[in-house]
Structure 1
Amino acid sequence: MDYYVETLFNSISFFDYSRGLFRELEDEINREDENYILNVGQEKYIEYLSDKYKLKLIEILEEGITQEVVEESVSNQHMTMSPLSRGVSGVSKQEAVLFYFPVSGDIDLLKIQPSTFTFSPPRAAIKENELIHKVILFNRGSEYALQQLNIFKTNINQMITYLNTDIIQYNETVVSKIRNFFIGRKNKILKRQNLATSINIPLKKRDSAPKTFAIPTPNMRRKITIKPRVGLQPFEPDPTLDENTYNDILRIINDMGKAFERNPSVYSNKGEEDLRDHFLMQLEPNYEGSATGETFNKKGKTDILLRHDGNNAFVGECKFWKGEKSFLSTIDQLLGYLTWRDSKTAVIMFVKNRDFTQTLNVAKSAIKNHKNFVRFNGGQDETWLNYTFNLPEDTNKEIQLALMMYHTVDVN
């Protein structure tokens, strides 16, 4: 059998190895065509590179260990069983046991020295996806073979633990490295071409707008990775809401939604359109300067729209929770309204179910299964969650979607 026994965990250090991967990663981003960088969906491209450059953890699949008894040619100078054999030149045939260890992950990583290491690392042969550990018996029996096997298993598993610790730390860093390299190159291209990533929609907060709103008094008489493909056409920036304005709009919606929860006797019997109009009544006085007669307007029964140059820059879709299927259809409907890259959106769900926590968990799980889901961006609170989606007709156009859920139980 053809194999070569070598000392493991004894070549380049993991620090130098990971530094080389970061250089390779940056070089790959720098080799991309400029229009590809400008047009590609940022999160999809980052996800593609993340899948490519992340390292898989190493694991010995112990349940798959097998053995084979063979005859090995051994130099007489290694013979230790008989004093008469020491120093005698030539070779002799000895019985040996080969133990085969199947390995999950990139087996070549077992050559790399982890940041925690020993000066006497284990030795074995690497062949395809297996380690081969050889035990020469020197006329000893199976107990000796098993003893040596257990020593090797202890040593190899300890070193793999050290290596996996480095891999985990590297994987936690690689996404931020990709994001920094990508954004850094994109900004350099835009600066050189004197472009902006987007054109801010002319919209400003009214100075006279009330900072809070009054709650009406209740009437006592009666809730797997493929590289993104992009055409290399020249990049053209799209109008967009700036982040501060978007977050301010969402805060106003969230404050109103929390008011629905705190005052069920006022809002519990309202329909979707009525609840939507309460949001509009709070948003419209706060902003001025859109391209339409009204800054915020409505299309259909449940929408909150902010339009600019005939396109929807912000869409809020208000619906009662009617189950997972209806929820995903609401997202489909919302995405169908959008044309611009980096549009800002919100799905506002009113939940009448008594078990609000369970409904929230169903929604959080279902949204990640939507075909246009890209990533979860964190939450402002337990019921205001932020996501990135792409548009159905163009996966490189990524939009922001806030999921906002409010418990509006009917009051009898």
Structure 2
Amino acid sequence: MVKEHKNNLFNSCNLSIILENIYNSIMPQVEAIPEKEFLATSDTDLVAKLVQLNTVEQITFDEENIRMHTISTCKMTPSGKPYFPVEGENPPDLQEGIVVQVEVPYSGDKRLLVSRPSMNYKHGGPSFTIKGDRIVKDYVGPLYSDPASFKAHFKSNFTKIKKYLSWQAQDIAMFEKRLRNKIVESIAERRDRPDIVELCFTSREGATDFFPDNILNDYTNSDSTPTTLKNPVISEDAFSRIIRVLRHTGKTFERTPAIYSVHNDLDLRNILVSNLNTHFVGKNNKDIFYRSGKTGFNVPIYSKATFKGKCLSWQCEEGFTYTLSRMLDNNHWHSCKMVLIVFNRTEADFKELLKIITQNFSSHPYQVQLKQLSTANECHALMHTANDHNRRHEVYMMVFNLYFGKDFDSPYLNDAERKFFVQN
């Protein structure tokens, strides 16, 4: 059994993990820069700022202020460590000894003191305790030990520490080259991305008023994409009004489950799309929302979706996760808004089902940020796609209860009743 060296320096985690986490955070940092600041700042200044923010400050020791305390007597355990009484425990066989504490001030990133470089000794560095801005070690020996031996032991330890710092410096130097390249690439990627323009919808005349706006651009559902097209994104206000219409329609389904539960997902999707096009209108009185696939619907701009919806009857957790993943992986514009509408047809305990669905939604592998909502049957999150963690989309999930218990009288004929009337 290998002895565990819990207090050894440079032995708790791999330095490569810390550096890789910094590397992977660069693109989100670039995306987080406000648009006005990003456009007004030169690439050179942005690179310099991000390099400074993400540079790992290496450990340096203040060797001129290394302090070796006065030697004092102590009780020493058989393992050669100073004894500190523990209430309720009998002391082991103790012997007289002497102890001296050494403190070494340092500056730099504290994480490096416990991080293992790519080159390292098997059990890590010497055993020291990290206390604030210094590392501390007690050197213990028998009562009549030569004090000079403590100094020699410390010098040996300190030489080993410096060796570790040199290995870390090699890893960090290689990382800094990758870091600068990643920053330059991330800035260039954002610069080259098509400009974003918000799409706002106009309410149809005579429909329920959901804060009407004017359409900003005349986009058409063409198969050919102009090379100068800006990236269309549904505005937050328009997305909010779409959610309101879908919520109102879904609540209508729930109020009369006996009527709507007999319809399959395709029929319910068609009703939702019809209601959306009843409320919102495009240029020349054209519909905005279109049916897509068996149970999907979208707002297509040059054959790519800027909004996507999907209807799904709950069957199992695996099917839910698969459907959500497929929604995120299909063809769509950057920052596409998405709505997943889930219908419960089979589970009598709707509250328990909501817990299961919400847990699966919040723990989805593409999850980036879960946003808080006040309603139990709705969730809102920011998610990325499978192949591009920097391509993120707003996903809104709504769950409606269409469960229709057998203790209710159905307004429709069953099979036996149909046969009776046909035969008679």
- Structure number with greater CO (CA < 8 Å, separation at least 6) is 1
TM score, norm. by length of structure 1: 0.49
* TM-score normalised according to structure 2 size: 0.48
Higher CA-based Rg = 2
